[in-house]
Copies of this chain bind each other. A is one copy, B any other.
Amino acid sequence: MTFHARNAATGETLPGEYHDAPIAEIDRVCSAAGEVAPEFAVLAPERRAALLEAIADGLGAASENILARAHLETGLPLPRLQGECGRTQLQLRQMAALVRDGSWVDARIDTAQPDRKPAPRPDLRRLLRGLGPVAVFGASNFPLAYSVAGGDTASALAAGCPVVVKAHPAHPGTSDLTAEVIHAAVARCGLPAGVFGMVHGAAPEVSLGVVRHPAIAAVGFTGSLRAGRALFDAAAARPVPIPVFAEMGSVNPVFVLPEALRERGAAIADGLVASFTLGMGQFCTKPGLVFGLASPEWDAFGAAVAAKAQAVAAAPMLHAGIAENFARGCRELAGVEWLATGTARVARVEGAAFLARPELTHEIFGPYTLLVTVRDTAQMLTLAGALEGQLTATMHGTDVDFAGAAALFDILPRRAGRVICNGFPTGVEVVAAMTHGGPYPACTDARFTAVGSAGILRWARPVSYQGYPDAHLPEELRDANPRGLLRLIDGKLTREPVMSARSV
């Protein structure tokens, strides 16, 4: 089957024809990744860093074309896309720095104890190395930062894993232009072409074909619960199961505590509307659920949110499917009171009714949020405790509020990957301390993050070397520590060389 890209604003067909990759093409691309994987896994870190930087440079040089096409395909405004392109380059450069620094391999050395009784202890050294080819499924809402050259690709390449991207069918032209940049960077760095491959596909069979290919060793996905779970199930059912990190969105609950509501309800209302309508609400961290105690201030808050939301200007959504799902999702919500029904939608419901209707906790992707009027603190805690896994959870409160909200401080970190005080969940910083992930259904494996330097850990496994001759050890583990890494030697973190006797 062939398909075309569409102008997100007008629905018109854009130039370019794309086809669902047939099984032979999937096999060719995945096999090529598998063939180069051993070599790429042990490539000098400096060369992997150079590749990541070459991709970042290439994106910068080609950004005018890429952004123009992305603007047409996604309807996202150019300034937003410029920011996203900067973020994409930042992610690649941060991963390059991580690889160049090298300490991410978590090198551990336990030196030999030749005189230990009853048996000598051998020399043991371990580090992390890449799992093998990673299949990356980009998100429609981040055509650059979580797509072809996005965070999953950057972290996988950094870990020493070749990447096979299944391009998102909503921005195939942007994907092709980005893939060209990566192909050129791979060639310029003198690396084999199999280090990066891409296939197109609008049919689920293409995605499943990639996940089931025996050369694929892990999967990174950003998108819907339905699609993410389908890939997870396919990966788990393989003869050789493989890990799947699927980030599948969230409703990102916000709790507005009473004193904060009284003291700065208007400011919180402003911030909330800005957050849930940002980019037409098409963020997985969009706050889609807001809890507050029944009170005149809460009524005023609802009115302020509604007024602000009603004034939000129309803008195209990412693609027709998302626009349709958004309209249907809002249309089908029963038993809620609508406060704003323009471009941005705000509904309200009582806590008891909310508790009785689990479908109200489902994500509606787009500029929509639901205000839940809570009877009392006890009911707020009940509602918090009943939440499914979330990417984020947020509290707005004063010191007095927080002093009385100890239970929320207990509950929310159990339900979410990131808990926020007096802020908003949109805006995911690319830093070491970021967790972008969380308990299911936010994510298929809460032990990892999609954003920040720890994202590399999704694609690596430990290997231990016992009694190895120094010359045959990976450089990171050699006595002399030629890379100057921070290593855990006999329980102490140090950049010193190994001084002890090796063999037993």
Contact = CB atoms under 8 A, between A and B. Distances in A.
A463 B131 contact: no
Interface residues of A, number: 73
Contacts of A417: 461-464
Nearest to A129: B413
B466 A446 contact: no
Interface in A452-474: 454, 457-458, 460-469, 472
Interface stretch (A146-154, A198-206, A373-381, A486-494): A486-494
A136 B131 CA distance: 26
Residue in A389, A411, A468 with the greatest tally of chain B CB atoms within 10 Å: A468
B464 A435 contact: yes
A6 interface: no
Interface stretch (A69-77, A314-322, A331-339, A424-432): A424-432
A445 to B, nearest CB: 6
Contacts of A47: none
A133 B421 CA distance: 28
A90 to B, nearest CB: 13
A479 to B, nearest CB: 14
Interface in A33-83: 38, 41-42
B110 A433 contact: yes
A309 to B, nearest CB: 21
A240 interface: yes
Q: How many copies of this chain does one complex carry?
A: 2
A359 interface: no
Contact of A462 (B237, B449, B461, B468): B449
A497 interface: no
A440 interface: yes
A131 B434 contact: no
A429 B121 contact: yes
A402 B243 contact: no
B447 A122 contact: no
A427 B119 contact: yes
A444 interface: yes
A458 B422 CA distance: 32
B418 A464 contact: yes
B491 A432 contact: yes
A416 B463 CA distance: 7
Interface string A203-246: 00000000000000000000000000000110011001101000
Interface of A: 38, 41-42, 108-110, 119, 121-122, 124-126, 129, 131-132, 232-233, 236-237, 240-241, 243, 389, 399, 402, 409-411, 413-414, 416-423, 427, 429, 431-435, 437, 439-441, 444-449, 454, 457-458, 460-469, 472, 486, 488, 491, 493
Given A419-B466, A447-B462, A493-B493, 11 more contacts: A108-B454, A110-B429, A240-B439, A240-B441, A413-B463, A421-B469, A432-B491, A433-B488, A439-B461, A447-B457, A448-B462
